[in-house]
Amino acid sequence: MRVDPISKITSDVQCDFSSKYDDHCRQYHLLPLSSVKIKLDAGIIDLDTDSLRFDDWTPLCSAIGTCKTLRSLTLRSQYYNSLSNNFAEAERRTLKRASSASKRPPIFQSKELLSKICTHIKDSLLITTELVLLEFDGLPFRRKDLTTLAQGIAKCKSLVHFRLTNSPIGDEGLDILCRHLNQAPKIREV
């Protein structure tokens, strides 16, 4: 019988990340987010990053950077996925955006925050013993961010699946990933 390593439930996983996340939230006088904790008993973090505030990221990044036992980490953004490739549609959206503040990019799209998140994920990749899935969907990585992530992936001993969907990385980004993923010991799916 084949058991999916991502869905294997252990109390250590929940305790490790959850307790660290709770401690960091207390330090910053914030309430832990239910969207972060909802699948922690299975060792999974699956977040829609567009809805998080700037303050929410500090305890989350700190907990991720020191956690050894997460099994799956997925960060999604629908902001770029919702933009149309059709020029007329894009032009219409630009006009609407000028009059609507609700169309501003989410805070997650800022260069500084994305760089901070990549650094903490790299730290986690260097110490983790359990992470088998790392997935990013719709995130605008810069070359520096991809290099940081790729360095962590190359040294991670447990990562099996790496997914980067709907993220505009270009040829340079692909080259960076290929060079580092070549050194990753267990990667089976990209």
Predicted TM-score (pTM) of this structure: 0.79
Q: What is the pLDDT of residue 144?
A: 94
Which residue in 8, 140, 115 sits closest to 71, CA to CA?
8
Q: Closest by alpha carbon to 146, among 126, 164, 159?
A: 164
Domain boundaries, the chain: 11-156
pLDDT of residue 94: 54
Provide long-range contacts, Cβ within 8 A and 24+ apart, for 78-86: 78/48, 78/50, 78/138, 79/50, 79/105, 79/106, 79/109, 79/138, 80/138, 80/140, 80/166, 80/167, 80/168, 81/137, 81/138, 81/166
Which pair of tokens denotes residue 130? Answer: 């359990």
* DSSP secondary structure code for residue 189 in this structure: B
Q: Amino acid letter at 129?
A: T
Q: Check if the beta carbon of residue 9 is closer than 8 Å to that of residue 35.
A: no
pLDDT at 15: 52
pLDDT tens for the chain, residues 1 to 190: 444 444 444 444 445 788 999 999 999 999 999 999 999 888 999 999 888 899 999 999 999 999 888 999 999 988 766 543 444 455 555 555 554 445 677 776 788 899 999 999 999 999 998 999 999 998 888 999 999 999 999 999 899 999 998 888 888 888 888 888 888 878 887 7
